[in-house]
A and B are shown apart, each in its own frame.
Chain A
Amino acid sequence: MENTTIAAISTAYGEAGIGIVRMSGPDSLDILKKVFFSKNGKSPAFEARHMYYGTVRKADGEVIDEALAVYMNAPYTYTGEDVAEIQCHGGNISVKNILSLLLESGAVLADRGEFTKRAFLSGKIDLSQAEAVIDLIKARTGRSYETAVDQLEGSVSRRVKEIRERLLDLLVSITVNMDYPDEDIEILTYERFGEALSLIDDELSKLNASSSEGRILREGLKVAIVGKPNVGKSSLMNIFLKENRSIVTDIPGTTRDTIEESASVRGIPISFIDTAGIHESEDVVESMGIERSKEAFNKADLLILVLDGSSELTDEDRELLEMSEGRPCITLLNKADKGLVLKEEGIEVSMLTEQGIDKIEDAIEGFVDSGRVRRESDVMITNIRHADLVRKALSEIGEAMEMVKAREAMDFIEVNVKAAFDYLGEIIGETASDEVIDEVFSRFCLGK
């Protein structure tokens, strides 16, 4: 039997009438009792398999949502462990906040396929399904983790690194004081220790504030639609926006300096860059020049080059084709309904009849699955995970500061500092176990 209690959002990402957050593991009931209360503010009896109505509340009493909750005792559950479920209002905000609260209350974020893995390990799933279980777990390996690290917003990853560097300095000082008491080295005083911790605490608090706004991950695939005037760029844009207007990314704080429109294509967050021309009338032809396109080319993760399939290439088309060579690019042959003249390779589409739009979406999805960007649902989960790690690091530092005040032994406080260091390492994907010892020997001249 596993000794941790895992939590995850079980319903699909996006708009829906209902959202479910599920826990599995020995502490499911205890954690549920910490967050779910009846209307009268009391904790319900939580008789197994009975549904209770009430509210999900934070420790300070703030209500997150009205919800239904049910507790199911082991082994009569899907995973064979104690399971608790909270059913709340649909949409992303509510499930996300409830999941965060469960993590704060002692649950750990489930890995992909982990509920199923546990079900299998406790004998709830037939042996013949073992391969399927492994496939589920495998989906998480390889690129997804690296992508999560890659997609850290540059400024956030820089800040995490800086804070971690400060923690490393402290750890090196503590270690060298602890393991080399006879050496000629600067003694780490409680004053210096306390100052360093409070600086780290400040930095982490700022990071915590920004991460709870969900800004840790850079959001979306940057797409530039390029083509000569009147070729159908704005029509394409409108098709994407029309379809998706209702689920434009709801994670607040998205950087919008160069991004003008966001949309979601099959759950993939997309930011269209340099779309100025799109809002202009198609008649104003001179506004979108080559110079302008160049800028878009450089910023984009993916180009969509629109050509007029019903006529021969112009000089401008040729120049655009040349510029897009060697870059990730989806080429569209528009106006296919008028009869195709062009011999270029590309997806035959018609903005007018909306023919071939699904093929464009296939191509975008294919590009994403090749490992460059993550889906919105993954982005949200990664954000929750990172925020959770920052919060945990912050709580370790808070504890360490208290211990410094109480003049507890440094080597005790080291345990908390090391824990904070490791949590931040998880965010940026650095987990080398000998980092501190390596640093001790590179900074200090030690030994007989």
Chain B
Amino acid sequence: MEIKKLGTYDIVVIGAGHAGCEAALAAARMGKKTLILSINLEAVANMFCNPAIGGTGKGHLVREIDALGGEMGLCIDKTFIQSRMLNVSKGPAVHSLRAQADKRRYHEEMKRTLEKQENLLLRQGEVIDIDMDREDGVKGVLLKTGAYYSCKAVVIATGTFLGGKIFIGDTGFDSGPNGLSPSTELAEALKKRGLPMRRFKTGTPARALSSSLDYSKMEIQLGDEKPVPFSFMDENVDREQVPCWLTYTNEETHRIIRENFSRSSLFGGLIEGVGPRYCPSIESKLERFPDKERHQLFVEPEGLSTEEMYLQGMSSSLPEDVQEAFYRTIPGLENIQIVRSAYAIEYDCIDPLDLNMNLMHKAFPGLFCAGQFNGSSGYEEAAAQGLMAGINAVLWLDGKEPFIIDRSEGYIGVLLDDLITKGTNEPYRMMTSRAEYRLVLRQDNADIRLTQRGRDLGLVSDERYEKYLSDKKAMEDEIARLEALKIKPSVANTVIVREGGSPVENGASLAELLKRPELTYDNTEEIDPERPKLSYHVRTKVEVSIKYKGYIDKQLAQIEKFKHLENKALPEDLDYMAMEGLRNEAKEKLSAQRPLSVGQASRISGVSPADINVLLVWLEKLRRS
């Protein structure tokens, strides 16, 4: 094959899924000449599994991506067809936005955004090798056609394409997701270059024709009457929404599945990859929870321009005849017409412990990694890593300090720290319970936490920055106004009593009154007729910061303690092996992982509190000598 040099870029992004798109946009917006390659342009920002963005923990990630100047929030706001705020009966820290997407339109919208982006070229092409070595790092990428692009940094975001293999029943064949071609040669080439790989697995349920389903036998699930935007840039996202549907499996479904356990590729021994516990196939659900009488099945539209419906909760690797049979036992699915079968897919990924905190591979300078390639799962987790990989590739090329978000600053920080410091043995999914500073890391304040930092990086547009500054000022002014606004008890009690609270005897500021559980910003409007008209985002911030001030302050104090060790930087060239007093396990782990801070070191498994004390003494010793 003749090599054809087709040009030079600062950064080449391999893969245009949710990670790749954010990486490429961030790099181009920060001024780097960027190329993004996809095996097939139809695969750009494709949602190969569920047609939804957001959810618990994940919705937080989307808001953070948006606050930093990323694209996911804007794209879903334009293309959602149903939206719900989850967990509204719970505290504001776990309110989570989730939207059903029109898959086709999401793909088109994102593709067009890439196409229009200055400094960025989106091109179809299959990368079969990355030209790199351990000394000089990345030099370029080679395509299947012999085309060669020179570059200094690569962001690899290959998702389930890399070494992809699909399983349905007793069949297994090389394939990318949804029948697209897999990236097989690149998988081999990376192994040859000495990149240690492992195998993970995931799966997706069948898609069925809407006209073949009987919705009268299912429960309807509607979107929120007043949908809430993901992006801090958007205010009104009202539109006509479409319903989702809920039905359940039963004993008969389970009988058929059980009788065919041995025909599942999962139990038949074909699959070697590790699957996620939180996204089990229906056969693993039955195997692990034999006593559960029924399982939920959500029927969700794939978009407005298609009849295809997604059967959430029923991913499977059983043969197609069994799939057909068990789906038909479910109320409303008796006459189901499947148009795409459920399948399991296995793919190559790395151990994220091999990464630096800036997502650059430890062994290959210039090789940045994101998404499922790093062992995560989910569109939002991928997008967050893509954004961070893109940003850090730029900073690395410019010889600047890496951009790190710590665990107290964002879910993005929790995600990267969990992956890179602790590692994962299954595809990693974000959950609100993973964030220890949850009360501060809310989705309502993601812009307050991160937009200034995005601006400093050069990612946040003037328009977004101005919106952020004016929202922030509006919030501060309104809080100050509410603190100063005294309300007479007789006036306050009109609302308090109506809302079922016990009346107050003394006057108080409205801010003080808002701390009562029965009062909200919205239901106190009548006793505060002078209040300014504020946007959704500002109203939410005002209410939450006033109402939960006590808890938030308590958590801020914990964060200050956390920051103490987090801010103690560890020089890159420390020789841990020579540090007398560290236990051997700690020496080895620290040498391998090379944490950036003492705080990060303390979270590595096998490093004890006493090791940290010894480390502190060594740092001081080195500083003085």
Contacts and interface: CB of A to CB of B under 8 A. Distances in A.
Contacts of A134: 580-581, 614, 617-618
Interface string B71-91: 000000000000000110011
B289 interface: yes
Interface in B545-583: 548, 551, 555, 560-561, 564, 580-581, 583
Contacts of A133: 617
A131 interface: yes
A410 B87 CA distance: 11
A138 B614 contact: yes
Contacts of A121: 616-617, 620
A135 B614 CA distance: 9
A412 B439 contact: yes
A7 B292 CA distance: 53
A429 to B, nearest CB: 11
A178 B56 contact: yes
Contacts of A135: 581
A183 to B, nearest CB: 7
A162 interface: no
Interface in A71-103: none
Given A120-B620, A447-B280, A180 B56 contact: yes
Contacts of A142: 583
B434 A437 contact: yes
B581 A137 contact: yes
B470 interface: no
Contacts of A17: none
Contacts of A59: none
Interface in B573-625: 580-581, 583, 608-611, 613-614, 616-618, 620-621, 624-625
Interface stretch (B32-40, B170-178, B271-279, B317-325): B271-279
Contacts of A412: 91, 93, 439, 548, 551
A182 B86 contact: yes
A437 B93 contact: no
B615 to A, nearest CB: 10
A411 B438 contact: yes
B524 interface: no
B56 A181 contact: yes
A447 B289 CA distance: 13
A180 B289 CA distance: 17
Interface string A329-353: 0000000000000000000000000
B422 interface: yes
A130 B614 CA distance: 10
B506 interface: no
Interface in A95-120: 111, 113-114, 117, 120
A179 interface: yes
A433 to B, nearest CB: 7
B105 interface: no
B498 interface: no
A178 B581 contact: no
Interface string A236-265: 000000000000000000000000000000
B560 to A, nearest CB: 7
Interface-central residue, A117, A408, A415, by most chain B CB under 10 Å: A415
Contacts of A407: 517
Interface-central residue, B278, B279, B433, by most chain A CB under 10 Å: B433
Contact of B561 (A3, A182, A440): A3
A406 interface: yes
B583 A447 contact: no
B432 interface: yes
Contact of B433 (A120, A131, A137, A437): A437
Contacts of B277: 441, 447
A137 B610 contact: yes
Contacts of A359: none
Nearest to B611: A141
Contacts of B617: 117, 120-121, 130, 133-134, 137
Nearest to A126: B624
A3 B87 CA distance: 36
B431 interface: yes
B613 A445 contact: no
B404 to A, nearest CB: 20
Nearest to B296: A184
B94 interface: yes
B621 A127 contact: yes
A42 interface: no
Interface in A1-43: 2-4
A436 B91 contact: no
B289 A445 contact: yes
Interface in B77-131: 86-87, 90-94, 96
A448 B311 CA distance: 9
A177 to B, nearest CB: 8
A447 B278 CA distance: 5
Interface string B514-544: 0001000000000000000000000000000
B555 A178 contact: no
Contacts of A183: 296
B158 interface: no
Nearest to B204: A448
Given A411-B94, A448-B315, A178 B433 contact: yes
B312 interface: yes
Nearest to A438: B277
Interface in B278-297: 278-280, 285, 288-289, 292, 294-296
A414 B50 CA distance: 30
Contacts of B315: 448
A446 B295 CA distance: 9
A178 B296 contact: no
A407 B313 CA distance: 33
B517 A411 contact: no
Interface-central residue, A114, A127, A142, A412, by most chain B CB under 10 Å: A412
A127 B57 CA distance: 47
A138 B94 CA distance: 42
B56 A406 contact: no
Nearest to A187: B89
Nearest to A138: B581
A135 B581 CA distance: 7
Contacts of B613: 111, 113-114, 117, 137
Contacts of A141: 583, 608, 610-611
A409 interface: yes
Contacts of B432: 178-179, 411
25 contacts: A3-B560, A4-B561, A111-B609, A120-B617, A123-B624, A130-B620, A130-B621, A134-B580, A134-B581, A135-B581, A137-B610, A175-B431, A175-B433, A177-B90, A179-B57, A179-B431, A179-B432, A181-B87, A181-B96, A184-B296, A411-B91, A411-B93, A411-B438, A412-B439, A415-B439
Given A175-B433, A409-B92, A411-B438, 12 more contacts: A111-B613, A130-B618, A134-B617, A134-B618, A135-B581, A138-B581, A177-B90, A178-B90, A179-B432, A409-B94, A411-B94, A448-B205
